[in-house]
Chains A and B, each alone.
Chain A
Amino acid sequence: MAMNNTKPTVAVYKFSSCDGCQLAFLNAGEALLQLAERVEILHFAEAGMLNEDVQVDIAFVEGSVNTHHDEERIRQVRANSRYLITIGACATAGGVQALRNIHDNGGWHQAIYAHPEYLDSLSTATAIAKHVKVDLELWGCPVNTQQVMQAVATLLHGANPAVSRESVCAECKRRGNVCVVVAQGQHCLGPHTHAGCNAICPHMGRGCYGCYGPQGVIYAGAA
């Protein structure tokens, strides 16, 4: 993506989430300070920059769409952004809260809240791409600093970031882990999960549980 001569502008938006993907920036240490030298961060509420309706070159979006207000907000964010990147499982797939989509959600708010009428809450939690065009999806629960910094660096060089099509299995083999499926008969989602975490679960002796989302063809069994 071609940038103007001035510093490219960046915004980080939060929707429904745990805030863990914004930590890819806030936990970046010195890299955060370096990033602030290379781009102008115009909106990032948790870091103290407030400018919700600003026009930016790159928008990072964390979290899923859960309220009517979210639906309006994400359209506005899209309209204000040249390049929109979703960060993490919530923004890219709905996240753990999207589990409620497959249950009878109607009764849940009633069961939990004494006053459900106070709430603005949709019956589903949905990915950003269900609502607006997304230019790049970064998977992960959470995404890590390297993923977001790499995306920014690539864009700053005028190229389109590419996301690896590998699965966790490939990372796991390269790390020299003993396969937890073959050696221990554990369940492992590694063969069908996007690479990106460096196979931390098999490395620690447990099966992958799919933080980086589905990769490749998945056989869900007979219908």
Chain B
Amino acid sequence: MKQTAIAIILFWVFSLIYKILSGYDSSIMQVEEILATPNFTYWFGKDDFGRDIYFRLVDGFINSFLIIFCVTFISSISGIFIGVLSGYIGGKLDQTIKFITTLFMSFPGILLAIAFAAILSPGKLNLIIALSIGGWVGYARLARAQTLLVKEQDFVKASQSMGSTKSRTIFHHILPALSTPMIVEATYAVAGLIIAEASLSFLGLGLQAPEASLGGMMRDSVRYLLAFHIMQ
């Protein structure tokens, strides 16, 4: 398990360095080499437009990584902000936020992202928005639950009794206590996001050609898989 993980990381690190050093543009098309099989010059062969699949993959990985990084950043910050406020202040605000989160949770999986990707025109920025809209809920729920727990603990009460302000309590006591569960939540969320991003691109709602995306490459290749059957 550990060896596989290290091998995968090494592969991507090597690919990224190779890609940067060679400066190869993955959208260069060479018509005479359409659908070339893998060989020593083109490691993974060429696609239906004569583009190098290996470099397309690396580009797709970079795109996917950037999108997921942005989505995680936006949704974790907003989720934690909303969750901590809801847990710390409580009352009517808490009730409202709790209802909104249950509402967002009632859309299964990537359906909400599909809905928003459908109305926004496809593209990188809109993909980030569509994924972030559903992404903050998980962080908010966990942050709220954790805040409720930490709020009642003795060290928070002690600091409050010594006269620390609300913002000091939140920034110096509650947020540090939240960091561990949030990192755990983020690792799970990132795994889901990779699939979600690829799924949206697979459905044609994510990145558009000529930009490389892993899901989009999958969709194009599946077409050939089925066409191969028809040609026989």
Is this pair of chains taken from one and the same complex? no
